[in-house]
A and B are shown apart, each in its own frame.
Chain A
Amino acid sequence: MALIDPPVVDRAARRHRWDTKFSPYAYVTPYFLIFGVFGLFPLLYTIWVSLQHRNLLDEGGARLVWFDNYAALLADPYFWNAMGNTLSLWLLTTVPQILFALGIAALLNRKVRTRTLFRMGVILPNITSVAAVTIIFAQLFGRDFGLVNWVLDLFGAGQIDWQAGTATSHIAIAVMVVWRWTGYHALIFLASMQAITPSLYEAATLDGANGWQQFWRITVPLLRPQIIFTTIIATTGNMRLLAEPLLFNPGAAAATGGSDRQFQTAALYLYEQGFTKYDFGYSSAIAVVLAIATIIVAGLGYLVTKRIQTE
């Protein structure tokens, strides 16, 4: 026995050492392998493609043209139109989302009966599919038989052709986005509101501050980190809206975002160039510019929300 024992222990120890040293890498490898190949690589490769003339419909194949795509982009009125629409929709979606979410969170933060029902109710829009819901909303916003126009008609407003105008189409699309995301942000805010110590409000009440003042002077300033975070998250989402403008007016020319491109976003223009005209180089340039624009706008959002302060 004594002769056999030591090697066994030795082998077990070696196996243990080998195990602790290498198995962590084995555990994280699937993630990095798949993400590296199908996530990170395409993202970085976009920059390279954006420097090429590469159109599937051209026989010649790809060739390096450096910044030609970018030069063409900056001179392209459709691109600027799409960027303008993107910024307009960003403003029309992000600001109401955050304000409504704060309000709903404040309501949910009261002692409410059947609170699970209300909490589930507010995130119901978030779990529905964007394709299905956009198709539903497109009907609700229909010109002749849409429910929205019918309700407005009760109040004496005329028939609005929501898709036709720039402002009206942006409002309709913003409604869809705000509807989808407000409740979700409200739950994030609610979680933080519940962590605020009640004695702050008690003191404020003794000082004669009413609920409205307490909300703006205590709740909102203390929620600053969440408001900043939500603004950035909402911005990255709202700067690349695609399904809503694509399906708002589905049809053969859907990728143009309306007959006059009145609601074509930058992401939709990327789709149009890439997958209806197969101009991969140009489309990649749009992706790069959109990414940079998103970072700038998110930074802007950060600078604005950072200024929220306690009095």
Chain B
Amino acid sequence: MTAVLDPPAPVRPAPAAGRARRLVKRVAGPWTYAALIAVLAGSAFPVYWSFVVSSQTPDAIDSVPPVLVPGGHLFENIARVFDTTDFALALTNSIIVSGTVTVSVVLFSTLAGFAFAKMRFRGRNVLLLLVIATQAIPTELGIIPLYMMMSEFGWAGEIHAVIVPGLVTAFGVFFMRQYFERAIPDELLEAGRMDGCHSLRLFWHVALPAARPAAAVLGLFTFMQAWNDFFWPLVVLVPENPTVQTALSTLASGYTTDYTLVLTAATIGTVPVLAVFLLFGRQIVGGIMSGAVKG
């Protein structure tokens, strides 16, 4: 899913009278809290349970009634994951892929977004329309020719086959364009031009500092998406040179029937995005609610 829209607000937020707010914005009662806590528990449970299994001995997964509290075997199981599979290579690959893709997407999106929002040039509107239109297209449907290209280049099985197609996203360009449109007044750039600033200097000294909050949100989304990407890495990589996600797939596909091992690997693979999420959850929530629709 790759698309973006500013969710159009159906009604402009009107300054509400205090009384109306009290009447309408109901203070949550116990039932609301109970429902929300149930939703929260449901959201967290699968990940929590995976962690529980990872910290137990292998027989815990088959026990009736099920074990629901963590045990003391987490590090033992982690050691087993790294002994039985080349999970270190998978983690390294995933870090290289996600890191490179994130830096590149943020940089190129910021550059193009700045040009689309704040510079005048022939063909701008047509090109911008092209960016918006391509967001709605599921590019995965071109996976066969993409694979053929990568084989032709001799990249199949190598991680740059995963990196290169991810270096830019239409979503990123549009997202940054929307932000620049609102965040930088034209007068500021005009003033810079009057002072004889080259446009690259304007970009570097005016636009880039102003873009930091949006670039951060885009970076967070891009990192998590690149880390979790599954279909294309599965197709183009080989089991001997995996990312975390394809390593999980191989591990689960009958390589072992030791599900404690598989779930421990799943837990390890989830930790990096979970860490990003716990650190920057507020920004991520804000990004989604302000119209950042990722996929």
Taking residues whose C-beta sits less than 8 angstroms from the other chain, chain B's interface range is 35 or more
CB atoms of B46 and A27 under 8 A apart: no
In the assembled complex, how far is the CB of residue B263 from the closest CB belonging to chain A, in whole angstroms? 7
- Interface contact A188-B288, CB-CB below 8 Å: yes
Interface SS majority for chain B:
helix
B111 contacts A by Cβ under 8 Å:
yes
How many whole Å from B27's CB to the nearest CB in chain A?
4
Q: Assuming the A-B contacts A30-B112, A39-B142, A122-B39, are A140 and B168 also in contact, with contact meaning beta carbons closer than 8 angstroms in the complex? A: no
Q: Find out whether the CB atom of A124 lies under 8 angstroms from the CB atom of B43.
A: yes
Which A residues from 111 to 159 make CB contacts under 8 A with B? 111-113, 116-125, 127-133, 135-140, 144-145, 147, 150
A-B pair count, CB < 8 Å, reads 335
Nearest chain B CB to A135 CB, angstrom units? 5
Q: Please state if B127 and A108 are interface contacts (CB–CB under 8 Å).
A: no
B1-46 residues with Cβ-Cβ distance < 8 A to A are: 1, 3, 5, 7-14, 16-17, 20-21, 23-28, 32-33, 35-36, 39-40, 42-44, 46
How many whole Å from A234's CB to the nearest CB in chain B? 8
Contact across chains for B39 and A252 when beta carbons are under 8 A apart: no
Which residue of chain B is the closest to A254 with respect to CB atoms? B253
Q: How far is the CB of A213 from chain B (nearest CB, A)?
A: 14
Chain A residues in 8 Å Cβ range of B7: 188, 191-192, 225-226, 229
Q: How far is the CB of A34 from chain B (nearest CB, A)?
A: 5
Q: Interface range on chain A: under 10, 10 to 19, 20 to 34, or 35 or more?
A: 35 or more
B11 and A130 contact, CB distance less than 8 A? no
Interface centre among B109, B244, B289 (most CB of A within 10 A): B289
Contacting residues, chain B, for A226 (C-beta < 8 A): 7-8, 10
Least distance between B181 CB and chain A CB atoms (Å): 15
Decide yes or no whether B144 CB sits under 8 A from chain A. Answer: yes
One of A85-93, A166-174, A287-295, A299-307 contacting the partner: A287-295
Q: Is the CB of A127 within 8 A of B200?
A: no
Report, nearest first, the 3 A-B pairs whose CB atoms are least far apart: A42-B142, A43-B142, A27-B115
Listed in ascending order, the chain B residues whose CB lies under 8 Å from chain A are 1, 3, 5, 7-14, 16-17, 20-21, 23-28, 32-33, 35-36, 39-40, 42-44, 46-47, 49-50, 53, 61-66, 108-109, 111-112, 114-116, 119-121, 124, 127, 130-131, 134, 136-149, 164-165, 167-168, 170, 173, 193, 196, 198-200, 203, 224, 227-228, 230-231, 235, 244-246, 248-249, 252-254, 259, 262-263, 266-267, 269-270, 273-274, 276-277, 281-282, 284-285, 288-291, 293, 295
